[in-house]
């Protein structure tokens, strides 16, 4: 198959591209290589992908309407795995406009490209942050998600709504992927695992929000990749019997689906830190701080719908996953 992966130089995009290439698919990757975090890490990921003859990289911004339109017109992609976005909850409080460009205009350009080139299946990144003020745990795709608490989350929810309209109007099969805190080798420098590891090695204190009283459904990267690779083959079909009154919000009379991809085993933040301390054989100095605006206390994924369609659900433990991250970190950063 010929696949487009947006955000191919990013954490998740890089891993998905590697896996699709190893399965013999042709992958076109796009990314604007922005400096939200260390560009050298993005370039190092790309250097690995570019060793594969079946990989082709194009530096392009999602908001480049003509460029994206041309790319779709010239290449007949069977699958589009749209992972490029401005990520980060806290950053969206200070820099809201970047989110509108990358996550709203960018998503629209991808939808338009898929619509005009008859892409067979669009899969796109959503986020557990769409659950916002929801308190019922675990979070289920059957629940309504109308109360996001950050602009980042609102753009991800908007992506689901925009996708639904394209599934409905143009019969474009779309699958939304609500990722729950993804971690692992080649992970993002703006996320807790890399920040904590770096600080603990340097003997500096780590900032622990809400005094450590938070739980996260940390999901290991290989489990995310496995889920995406299986889901790309499950093309959503319209369900004519579906109604708003009786059906789940995660499905539709249009070829539209949304899944949670999480570990279903929320871990206390302090337990996550203990796993890092164990992997590094070093104790962290903790700087206990109040809750940050836009953050949620707990995330936990109900993955029953995911399991029923792909016969797989993430289950790597944080002890194993964090150890693999630390091994990569020590090797990569010497
Ligand atoms: N990592 C997580 O825990 C997590 C959780 C939930 C959702 N997500 C979502 O998954 C997707 C991938 O996340 P990630 O962790 O790999 O992030 P990442 O930042 O490592 O990857 C995103 C990539 O997209 C690129 N990009 C950003 N804006 C762009 C634009 N306007 N045009 C072209 N390229 C652009 C960036 O340069 C980056 O390489 C994102 O949509 C993110 O919102 C991630």
Atom 20 in ligand 1: which residue has the minimum CA distance? 10
Contact 255, 165 (CB under 8 A): no
Contact 124, 12 (CB under 8 A): no
Would the CB of 260 count as within 6 Å of ligand 1? no
In a domain, 309, yes or no: yes
Would the CB of 182 count as within 6 Å of ligand 1? yes
- Residues with a catalytic annotation lie at 152
Measured CA angle at 97 (ends 95, 102), to 5 deg? 105
Phi, psi of 159 (to 5 degrees): -60, -40
- Smallest Cα–Cα separation from 38: which of 64, 11, 4? 11
CA–CA distance, 167 with 172 (Å, rounded to integer): 4
In a domain, 294, yes or no: no
Q: Tell me the best of 41, 57, 84 to mutate to test the pocket of ligand 1, counting ligand atoms within 8 Å of each CB and taking the most.
A: 84
Contact 26, 5 (CB under 8 A): no
In a domain, 275, yes or no: no
Contact 254, 238 (CB under 8 A): yes
Q: Tell me the best of 16, 83, 263 to mutate to test the pocket of ligand 1, counting ligand atoms within 8 Å of each CB and taking the most.
A: 83
Contact 291, 278 (CB under 8 A): no
Ligand 1: nearest atom to the Cα of 106:
31
**How far is C-alpha 154 from the chain's CA centre?**
15
Measured in angstroms, how far is the CA atom of residue 87 from the centroid of ligand 1?
Answer: 5
**How far is C-alpha 197 from the chain's CA centre?**
21
Strands (E), 204-266: 205-208, 215-216, 219-220, 256-261
Q: How far apart are the first and last CA of the chain?
A: 37
Q: Each residue's pLDDT tens digit in the chain (334 positions)?
A: 999 999 999 999 999 999 999 999 999 999 999 999 999 999 999 999 999 999 999 999 999 999 999 999 999 999 999 999 999 988 998 999 999 999 999 999 999 999 999 999 999 999 999 999 999 999 999 999 999 999 999 999 999 999 999 999 999 999 999 999 999 999 999 999 999 999 999 999 999 999 999 999 999 999 999 999 999 999 999 999 999 999 999 999 999 999 999 999 999 999 999 999 999 999 999 999 999 887 888 999 999 999 999 999 999 999 999 999 999 999 999 9
In a domain, 27, yes or no: yes
Measured in angstroms, how far is the CA atom of residue 246 from the centroid of ligand 1?
Answer: 34
- Smallest Cα–Cα separation from 296: which of 220, 216, 195, 190? 216
In a domain, 202, yes or no: no
Contact 303, 314 (CB under 8 A): yes
Phi, psi of 93 (to 5 degrees): -75, -35
Alpha helical stretches, state H, 90-212 = 91-94, 96-99, 106-116, 151-170, 192-202
Would the CB of 217 count as within 6 Å of ligand 1? no
Contact 261, 224 (CB under 8 A): yes
**How far is C-alpha 142 from the chain's CA centre?**
20
Atom 19 in ligand 1: which residue has the minimum CA distance? 10
**How far is C-alpha 267 from the chain's CA centre?**
19
In a domain, 206, yes or no: no
Measured in angstroms, how far is the CA atom of residue 83 from the centroid of ligand 1?
Answer: 6
In a domain, 191, yes or no: no
Q: What is the CATH number of the domain that holds 26?
A: 3.40.50.720
Indicate the number of domains in the chain: 1
Ligand 1: nearest atom to the Cα of 42:
39
Measured CA angle at 152 (ends 146, 154), to 5 deg? 20
CA–CA distance, 145 with 131 (Å, rounded to integer): 5
- pLDDT confidence of residue 89: 87
- Smallest Cα–Cα separation from 23: which of 229, 223, 234, 233? 229
Measured in angstroms, how far is the CA atom of residue 92 from the centroid of ligand 1?
Answer: 13
Domain that holds residue 243: 2-182+221-262+299-315
Atom 1 in ligand 1: which residue has the minimum CA distance? 182
In a domain, 280, yes or no: no
- pLDDT confidence of residue 103: 98
Q: For the chain, how are helix, strand and coil distributed in percent, rounded to 5?
A: 45, 15, 40
């Amino acid at each position: 198959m010929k696949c487009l992966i947006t955000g191919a130089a990013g954490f998740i995009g890089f891993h998905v591209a590697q896996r699709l290439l190893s399965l013999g698919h042709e992958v076109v990757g796009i990314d604007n290589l922005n400096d939200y975090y260390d560009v050298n890490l993005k370039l190092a990921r790309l250097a690995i992908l570019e060793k594969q003859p079946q990989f082709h990289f194009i530096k392009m911004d999602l908001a480049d309407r003509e460029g994206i339109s041309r790319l779709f017109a010239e290449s007949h992609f069977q699958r589009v795995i749209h992972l490029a976005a401005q990520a980060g909850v806290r950053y969206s409080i200070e820099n809201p406009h970047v989110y509108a460009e990358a996550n709203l205009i960018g998503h629209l350009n991808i939808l338009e490209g898929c619509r005009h080139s008859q892409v067979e299946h669009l899969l796109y990144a959503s986020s557990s942050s769409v659950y916002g003020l929801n308190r019922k745990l675990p979070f289920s795709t059957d629940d309504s998600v109308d109360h996001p608490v950050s602009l980042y989350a609102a753009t991800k929810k908007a992506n689901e709504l925009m996708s639904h309209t394209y599934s409905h109007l143009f019969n474009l099969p779309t699958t939304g992927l609500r990722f729950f805190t993804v971690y692992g080798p080649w992970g993002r420098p703006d996320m807790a695992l890399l920040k904590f590891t770096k600080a603990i090695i340097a003997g500096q204190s780590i900032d622990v929000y809400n005094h450590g009283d938070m739980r996260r459904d940390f999901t290991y990267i290989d489990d995310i990749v496995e889920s995406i690779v299986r889901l790309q083959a499950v093309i959503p079909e319209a369900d004519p019997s579906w109604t708003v009154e009786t059906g789940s919000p995660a499905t539709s009379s249009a070829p539209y689906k949304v899944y949670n991809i999480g570990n279903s085993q929320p871990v206390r933040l302090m337990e996550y830190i203990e796993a890092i301390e164990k992997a590094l054989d070093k104790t962290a100095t903790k700087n206990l701080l109040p809750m940050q605006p836009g953050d949620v206390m707990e995330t936990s994924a109900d993955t029953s719908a995911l399991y029923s369609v792909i016969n797989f659900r993430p289950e790597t433990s944080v002890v194993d996953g964090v150890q693999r991250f630390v091994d990569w970190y020590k090797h990569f950063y010497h």
